[in-house]
Amino acid sequence: MTTLVIGAHGHVGQQIVQQLATAGETVYSGIRNAEQAATIQQLGGQARTVDLMGTAEALVPAMQGVDTVVFSAGSGGSTGDDMTLNIDLDGAVKAMQATELAHINRFIIVSALGTGDRAFWAKSSIRPYYVAKFYADEWLQHRTNLDYTIVRPGLLTNEAATGKITTNPGDDGTRQITRADVAATVAAIVKHPLPKQIVTIVNGDTPVDDAIEKL
């Protein structure tokens, strides 16, 4: 199994790379800056250039020899709403288009719990983020033929991994999950495909692999 992680240098992306590599998977890690390659190598991944500000066609070479594309990229909290649109929405859509151009079927995207609830957006201080996630998810479901899995984690924390989650607790964006447990969930879905599904996750009581295998 060979996976390309787009957004591999992000907080969740790095942990996805490390967990897949530790499990013996071949992991290509999409990065924009060459200086990030050393970090990727330390995690067990192999760096490939992925520029989400370019064209969909330009992303295809990074997808050669890949079975599954994981999109975990985000503009980050230090950028403006324009970059949220460019990366979290348009970058995601271009990654989907490139995946189809590369004749890859499997696409996993890290979205956000609360994305499906406009009432929640209205209460959030990062409404543009949820808007971008919503329309990226919509494109994936209705404008592609990919065997997608949409992972919608609760509010992300930097606490140590618990190894346990609750799946599909309801679209309440206020519940939490560690970034490490999000990465473990994505790694589990790479191993146990969940095509055409949306999976919401928060920290809970069920070991990650068991929770995914039951879906």
Q: Which residue has the tokens 């189809």?
A: 100
Q: What separation in angstroms does the CA of 23 have from each of 84, 182, 187?
A: 32, 16, 9
Q: What pLDDT is recorded for position 172? A: 61
Q: What separation in angstroms does the CA of 54 have from each of 103, 178, 202?
A: 20, 31, 34
Distance CA 50, CA 65 (A): 15
CATH number of the domain that residue 210 is part of: 3.40.50.720
Range of the domain at 185: 2-214
> Encoding tokens for residue 60?
């295809």
Cβ distance 90 to 69 under 8 Å?
no
pLDDT tens readout for residues 42-66: 999 999 999 999 999 999 999 999 9
Coil vs helix vs strand at 46 = strand
Cβ distance 31 to 37 under 8 Å?
yes
Q: What separation in angstroms does the CA of 114 have from each of 69, 87, 138?
A: 23, 19, 14
pLDDT tens readout for residues 81-137: 899 999 999 999 999 999 999 999 999 999 999 999 999 898 888 999 999 999 999
Distance CA 144, CA 121 (A): 25
Q: What separation in angstroms does the CA of 198 have from each of 167, 189, 212?
A: 10, 12, 12
Question: Which of 95, 19, 18 lies closest to 54, judged by CA?
Answer: 95
Distance CA 171, CA 193 (A): 22
pLDDT at position 173 over 80: no
- Specify which residues 153 forms β-bridges with: 201
The catalytic residue positions are 129
Q: What pLDDT is recorded for position 171? A: 58
Residue 126's H or E segment, with its range, is none
Give the number of domains in the chain.
1
Can you give the pTM of this predicted structure?
A: 0.96
pLDDT tens readout for residues 134-163: 999 999 999 999 999 999 999 999 999 999
Question: Which of 163, 174, 173 lies closest to 206, judged by CA?
Answer: 163
> What secondary structure letter does DSSP report for 167?
E
